[in-house]
């Protein structure tokens, strides 16, 4: 029976986990799911449906019935500051997390063509979504470096913003992620810690690649 090789990548906001996950998925021919985009997509869907963000009953209904295969995950609106904040707000809802967890597990167990496995990145992959993952990474970096990265990303998207405000938003996000009641951001006990403060994207990739090669061989 076919079984995907699974890699879980968790980490703080703007730590570089998404870039790392995409690079590893291409290098090793893995299917890739950015779980953060599921929450951002949910925020867009809820906003477009004019649902109050405190109305969990209507949120559950619209998200449970939504076909995410029809959503454009390449839309740059997912990277906007507004959607990022809204996604962070709703990510603490247990009911929403349970709905999206079903999809994440479905993706993880599904055979994806000629792919040899799956890579998921997020904030509770190694602890909740894939606690038995074959390889786990926890990616982090200093607050100032992460704020610099996010600020440059927003500027590249044409969004006018102040770096100091970006840093405050990330700090607030860290607090919400780590202190939320359901599935808080925490490194799995068996995760490999990658501090990317002094590493560029390629250096981070080469370091993680070495770990993956050791585990696969």
Q: Which CATH number goes with the domain that contains 166?
A: 3.40.50.300
Q: Give tens-digit pLDDT for 110-137.
A: 999 999 999 999 999 999 999 999 999 9
Which residue range(s) make up the domain with 27? 5-216
Q: Give tens-digit pLDDT for 11-28.
A: 999 999 999 999 999 999
Left (φ > 0), alpha (ψ -120 to 50) or beta: where does 183 sit? left
Count structural domains, the chain: 1
Residue 2 in this model has a pLDDT that exceeds 70:
no
Q: Give tens-digit pLDDT for 167-176.
A: 999 999 999 9
Rounded CA-CA distance 75/60 in Å is 23
Cα torsion at 134, 38, 177, 95 (round to 10°)?
Answer: -100
């Amino acid at each position: 029976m076919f079984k995907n090789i699974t890699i879980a990548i968790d980490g703080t906001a703007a730590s570089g986990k998404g870039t790392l996950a995409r690079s590893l998925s291409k290098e090793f021919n893995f299917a890739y799911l950015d779980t953060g985009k599921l929450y951002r997509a949910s925020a867009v869907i809820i906003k477009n449906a004019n649902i109050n963000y405190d109305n969990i009953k209507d949120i559950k209904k619209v998200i449970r019935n939504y076909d995410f295969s029809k959503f454009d995950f390449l839309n740059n609106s997912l990277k906007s500051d507004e959607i990022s904040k809204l996604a962070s707000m709703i990510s603490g809802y247990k009911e929403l997390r349970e709905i999206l967890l079903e999809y994440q597990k479905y993706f993880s167990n599904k055979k994806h063509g000629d792919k040899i496995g799956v890579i998921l990145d997020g904030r509770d992959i190694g602890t909740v979504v894939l606690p038995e993952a074959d390889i786990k990474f926890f990616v982090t970096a200093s607050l100032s470096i992460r704020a610099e990265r996010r600020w440059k990303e927003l500027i590249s998207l044409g969004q006018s913003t102040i770096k100091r405000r970006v840093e405050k938003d990330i700090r607030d996000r860290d607090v919400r992620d780590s202190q939320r009641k359901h599935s808080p951001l925490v490194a799995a006990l068996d995760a490999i810690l990658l501090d990317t403060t002094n590493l560029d994207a390629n250096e981070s990739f080469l370091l993680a690649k070495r770990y993956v090669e050791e585990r696969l061989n």
